[in-house]
Structure 1
Amino acid sequence: MRWIRDYQPQPEQGRLYRQALILTLGGNLLLAVGKGLAAYFSGSVALYADAANSVSDVFYSLMMVLGLWVAQRPPDISHPQGHSRFEPLVGISVAFSMGLAGYEAARTALVRFQMGGLAVEAGLPAVVLLISALIKVFMFLRIRTLARSLHSPTLATTAKDNLSDVLTSTAAFVGAFGSSLIHPLTDPIAGFLVAAWIFRAAFLAVRENLGFLTGAGASEEVRQQIAAAAREVPGVQAVHHLMAEYVGPQLVVDLHVNVDTDLPLKDTHAIEDAVVARLEAIPEVDRAYVHIEPVGWQ
């Protein structure tokens, strides 16, 4: 009797995850230190808000290391279907970390706004923010590619956070320049914009990862793709039942297909195996359960 699901280690998948973790942790640590020092010496609240976001990025990077390590563990008797549900849980933790950074950015901007703002010398903040934006553009593009290859909601959330950081660094850049060229209140106003972008990214990340964690269904496009793939298997005459729900970052499919009632048992079993193989070849599908029924059965 089998107690846990079959599992085959995937060394290439592990290598890509390690690459993503190293890039995320290393890049965020570098940016947090650089922005923090620049904010301290320049006094820019917009840059301070951006630095707070980078500090939160360091903490979520550490959570990613632990969470993804757990999510990639093979099935065992405590989790016979595997540990993949831990991954969207990590994604939600990342989103909450982003929310805390947004709160700190908004709080600091409010204090500075009530003080009437402060003119900031644009030189150092401008250089730091431009470099930060370029680094984050690279991180966004690379992490997004890895997220798509691995179908990882945590890495997809991280990529979105990197894109948000590009936009918030741009807002902070405008604030640093505007405080001296336009009005001192430009800097805290930019800080509010930074906070707004962070809150928006956090909300979207929570919404997406909750779907993965709570068993959301597949989109209509994916459902049609699954049904079409099953119908292409020789011997399948109809598909009359399909359930596809997320268990962690990938789908579990329950499918009923109709076959000729006169086929020998070994032939119907071969059709079942062929349908399972065809469905599990779809990138979004983790595993499929196929039930064989006679033609006309609904």
Structure 2
Amino acid sequence: MKKSETGYHGDGMAKSRLDCDEQARNPRYNWKRYWKTEEELKLMKKPIRQYYERTNLLIQQYIYIDRLLDSSLPHDLLNEYNTSQDQPSIPATISEEQPPVNAESGGQREPNGASSGNKKIKRTPRDLYKVPTEDTPLLEDSDDEDGPRPEIPGMTDDSVESGDRIVQVAIYVNLAANIVLLGGKMAVIVLTSSLSVLASLVDGALDLLSTVIVWTTTRLIARQDRYRYPVGRRRLEPIGVLVFSVIMVTCFFQVALECFNRLNSGDHSIIQLGVPSISIMASTVVIKALCWVWCRVIKNSSVQALAQDAATDVVFNLFSIIFPLVGYYANLWWLDGLGGLLLSAYVIINWAGTSAAHIRNLTGAAATADERNVLLYLTMRFAKTIKQIQGLEAYHLGDKLNVEVDIVLDETMALRDSHDLGESLQYVLESVPTVDRAFVHQDYASWNLPSHMQQQAE
């Protein structure tokens, strides 16, 4: 039976006019032909090797996008619209009061166009590893060990959820360890006037403060309030890190100033660490090393950050012991002050860079060229019905990117089809782990006036 003008078959079943199968998308490239193996890279000179290492990284990201587009995800997104288009859309009653969290939806349509009774796709980076209705992982490893593997920089395989008990236990164990070790370092600083130990004490106190800041921001982010914070409070995390980095730099600047004053003073007394002091500092190194060994096997991004912090503390506290000990046995009065100054300078430089990076991201810095190329490739391959990509802007408003894409479609395309295409592209863009929110604007002409008032004023 012929298709009617409304786009339905005679039997009443909806027909997808934007089927995202292999024929509806632009073909993929054979990226493996450009891949360089480790053996080939070792034979190259450094500048050429760096170029091909960057090329390999881009190839891995392009293959990730290919796997994403060739999976059932785009097709299932469009099917959500097709299965819900026959259902009447009844607007919800407008209320000035916030509805309760456990209130029933009453069959209303969700913002993505699918009814609440239908099983919808979880659009999170972690769930892309196994798309619903598929038995094999989306990002399965390649058979060739030397070949390219799909990968996005900054993406972690969180096989353990943040709400799992093992993650909570790891956080509380690290918190308890920081409290105990802070008390031990306070006892050491009473027994000795070592500036290297003072730097370690300040580092321990700020470690405890960082744990409190991360715990507080995590709980605030988890409390979603779509009325007061429509897009969530995910930017609290980089803001918390920025506040902590400023505190870190300020505190260690004071420690560095104290070390500088000690070196310029006439006091040339040699600092001696007693057995109790050495025992407490050595136990700090051992406990932090055990925390690192345990946390690094838990596949969760938050716990992995704790593992990295523990590894840094092992090195920091180890040198806090070495500087005064070597100064005592080598009879070098200035080595303890110099050690404290070097440790402070290391922390200041490290956290000043972290602070600058977060300020840059929070003020709307542009994405890198490689990040834009990956998003442009995804948009280009998404559907053959996209005649032209008029523009693509990617910029930071926090740790992740906001993406604005302007695409050109045929002016005779039905409104329903253009809507389904644009919103499906939006969801697939937001499925890329580096993207927070995406906005897709459909146009029928290849040229358009600036889309924002500030752009027109310029």
TM-score tier by shorter-chain length is 0.7 to 0.9
Distance 2:231 2:338 in 1: 49
Provide the residue aligned with 2:321 in structure 1. 173
1:237: which partner in 2? 387
* 1:273 lines up with 2:423 in the alignment: yes
Distance in 2 between residues matched to 1:233 and 1:199, nearest whole Å: 45
SS in 2 for 1:180: helix
Deviation per CA, 1:37-66: give whole Å up to 9, x if none: 233334432112211221122123222222
- Secondary structure of the corresponding residue to residue 171 of structure 1: helix
Mapping 1:1-298, distance limit 5 Å: 12-15=161-164, 18=168, 21-22=171-172, 24-113=174-263, 114=265, 115-121=267-273, 123-133=275-285, 135-136=287-288, 149=301, 164-182=312-330, 183-234=332-383, 235-294=385-444, 296-297=446-447
Comparing 190-199 and 209-218, the one that deviates more? 209-218
Between 209-218 and 11-20, report the one with greater CA deviation. Answer: 11-20
- Find the aligned partners of 1:171 and 1:260 in 2 and give their Cα distance: 66
Aligned partners of 2:409 and 2:123: how far apart in 1? 34
Gaps (5+ residues) in structure 2?
1-90, 99-109, 113-121, 125-159, 449-458
**C-alpha deviation, 1:222, in angstroms:** 1.2
Contact (CA 8 Å) 1:57, 1:97: kept in 2 or not? no
Counterpart-to-counterpart distance in 1, 2:231 and 2:261: 50
- On the 8 A contact 1:253/1:285 being kept in 2, the answer is yes
TM-score, normalised relative to structure 2: 0.55
Query: CA RMSD, aligned part only?
Result: 3.7
C-alpha distance in structure 1 between counterparts of 2:392 and 2:314, whole Å: 41
Once superposed, which parts of structure 1, at least 4 consecutive aligned residues long, lie more than 6 Å away? Answer: 1-11, 140-148
The alpha-carbon deviation at position 23 of structure 1 amounts to 5.2
How many residues are treated as equivalent by the alignment? Answer: 294
Structure 2 CA distance, aligned partners of 1:9 and 1:228? Answer: 20
Equivalents in 2 of 1:9, 1:78: separation in Å? 23
- Whole-Å Cα distance in 2 between the matches of residues 197 and 126 of structure 1? 23
Structure 1, residues 88-146: CA drift from partner, whole Å, max 9, x if none? 11011211221233134224424543222423237555554454345556667888999
Structure 1 range deviating more: 136-145 or 288-297: 136-145
Alpha-carbon distance between aligned partners in 1 of 2:363 and 2:169, rounded to the nearest angstrom: 28
> Is the CA contact 1:60–1:93 (under 8 Å) kept in the aligned structure 2?
no
Show CA shifts across 1:142-161 (max 9, x none). 889999847x9xx96x7776
CA contact (8 A) 2:206 2:248 kept: yes
Instruction: Summarize the Cα distance change of 1:200–1:129 in structure 2 as closer, same or farther, 3 Å threshold.
Output: farther
Offset at residue 212 of structure 1 (A)? 2.9
State the Cα distance separating 1:172 from its structure 2 match: 1.6
The answer as to whether partners of 2:367 and 2:394 remain within 8 angstroms in 1 is yes
Distance 1:223 1:146 in 2: 32
Q: Given the superposition, is the C-alpha separation of residues 110 and 159 from structure 1 closer, same or farther in structure 2, using an over 3 Å criterion? A: farther
Secondary structure in structure 2 of the residue aligned to 1:232: helix
Residues 172 and 289 of structure 1, relative CA distance in 2, 3 Å threshold: same
Given the superposition, is the C-alpha separation of residues 137 and 100 from structure 1 closer, same or farther in structure 2, using an over 3 Å criterion?
farther
User: For the residues of structure 2 that align with 1:144 and 1:246, how far apart are their CA atoms?
Assistant: 29
* Contact 1:112–1:118 (Cα < 8 Å) also in 2: no
Name whichever structure is richer in helix by fraction. 1
Paired-residue identity, %: 20
Larger Cα Rg: Structure 1 or Structure 2? 2
Using the alignment, how far apart are the partners of 1:98 and 1:50 within structure 2? 13
C-alpha separation between the residues in 1 aligned to 2:337 and 2:249? 18
Q: Measure, in 2, the Cα distance between the counterparts of 1:289 and 1:54.
A: 43
Q: Aligned equivalents of 1:257 and 1:32: distance in 2?
A: 56
**1:136–1:165 Cα contact (<8 Å) kept:** yes
Q: For residue 243 of structure 1, give the secondary structure of its aligned residue in structure 2.
A: strand
Secondary structure in 2 matching 1:12: coil
Residue 71 of structure 1: how far off its partner (Å): 2.9
User: What is the alpha-carbon distance in structure 2 between the residues aligned to residue 261 and residue 197 of structure 1?
Assistant: 59
Letter in 1 for 2:328: S
Deviates more, 1:128-137 or 1:9-18: 9-18
